[in-house]
């Protein structure tokens, strides 16, 4: 039976040996660590994204149990992973949008989920008081936005999963949201993570930097 890959986000005490102990616990399950990315570092802690291969048939919840057996480790989220954990994906996203001959907003929406480790992406704007969906990736919710009074947007923002404008079906799926302006901010790239994890401040800052670069490529009004 083939291995299955998972993306494990952990918060751990930032001290020598913590990752080694985590690797030992995961290895005892037969899990193989493929890659690791430091998402954020704070005062005495670190948030890491760890991609692990688990033998087929093994229960994914065992990864949570093993990780949290290490003193100072908390699992923020666990979800299937089909891409590769590589910051070069952001450069590939920029190149793909720049080289697109068709709808660049659609290309941005299609590729953003894999590059930014989210469930879905869409580009939204407003026509008067009505939100308008300009493009969306596969997996984006069918339930439309009925409010977007946060537009225009002047900086990247983390909206969490409880903002009053979020449609009920999105909240029921514990979808946490973040957005960043495109151009003048009348358009925005809206990202959703179904079931979390929450967006870290460093991720929001990186999102804002990325859309700042892409804004000049999609020529928003």
pTM: 0.72
Q: Which CATH number fits the domain that encloses residue 198?
A: 3.30.450.40
Do 44 and 88 touch, CB atoms closer than 8 A?
no
H or E stretch including 199? Answer: none
Q: What are 199-210's pLDDT values in tens digits?
A: 988 889 889 888
Q: 58, 80, 102 — which closes off a domain?
A: 80
Domain match, 202 and 107 both:
yes
Q: 14, 47, 80 — which closes off a domain?
A: 80
Sheet containing strand 32-41, edge to edge, reads: 32-41, 45-54, 4-13, 73-80
Domain match, 93 and 70 both:
no
Q: 62, 80, 98 — which closes off a domain?
A: 80
Q: Is 21 helix (H, G, I), strand (E, B) or coil?
A: helix
pLDDT in tens, the chain (221 residues): 688 889 899 999 887 678 888 888 888 888 888 877 778 888 888 888 888 898 888 889 999 999 999 999 999 999 888 765 555 677 788 888 888 887 899 999 999 998 888 999 999 999 888 999 999 999 999 999 999 999 999 899 999 998 999 999 999 999 999 999 998 889 999 999 998 889 988 889 889 888 887 887 775 44
Q: What are 75-119's pLDDT values in tens digits?
A: 999 988 876 555 567 778 888 888 888 789 999 999 999 888 899
Domain match, 103 and 76 both:
no
Domain match, 104 and 199 both:
yes
Number of domains in the chain: 2
Q: Which domain holds residue 53?
A: 4-80
Q: How many CB atoms lie within 10 A of CB 160?
A: 13
Q: Which CATH number fits the domain that encloses residue 35?
A: 3.30.70.260
Nearest to 48 by CA among 58, 56, 38, 34: 38
Domain match, 134 and 31 both:
no
């Amino acid at each position: 039976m083939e291995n299955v890959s998972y993306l494990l986000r952990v918060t751990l005490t930032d001290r020598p040996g913590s990752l080694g102990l985590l690797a030992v616990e995961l290895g005892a399950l037969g899990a193989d660590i493929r890659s690791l990315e430091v998402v954020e570092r704070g005062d005495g802690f670190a948030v890491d994204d760890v991609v692990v291969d688990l033998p087929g048939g093994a229960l994914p919840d065992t990864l949570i149990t093993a990780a949290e057996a290490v003193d100072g480790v908390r699992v923020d989220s666990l979800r299937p992973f089909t891409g590769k954990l590589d910051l070069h994906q952001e450069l590939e996203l920029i190149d793909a949008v720049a080289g697109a001959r068709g709808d660049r907003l659609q290309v941005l929406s299609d590729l953003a989920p894999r590059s930014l480790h989210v469930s879905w992406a869409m580009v939204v704007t407003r026509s008067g008081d009505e939100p308008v969906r300009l493009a969306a990736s596969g997996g984006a919710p069918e339930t439309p936005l009925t409010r977007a009074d946060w537009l225009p947007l002047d900086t990247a923002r983390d909206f969490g999963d409880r903002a009053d404008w979020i449609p009920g079906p999105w909240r029921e799926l514990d979808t946490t949201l973040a957005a960043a302006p495109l151009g003048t901010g009348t358009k925005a790239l809206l990202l959703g993570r179904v079931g979390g994890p929450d967006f870290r401040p460093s991720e929001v800052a990186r999102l804002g930097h990325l859309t700042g670069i892409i804004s000049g490529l999609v020529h928003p009004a």
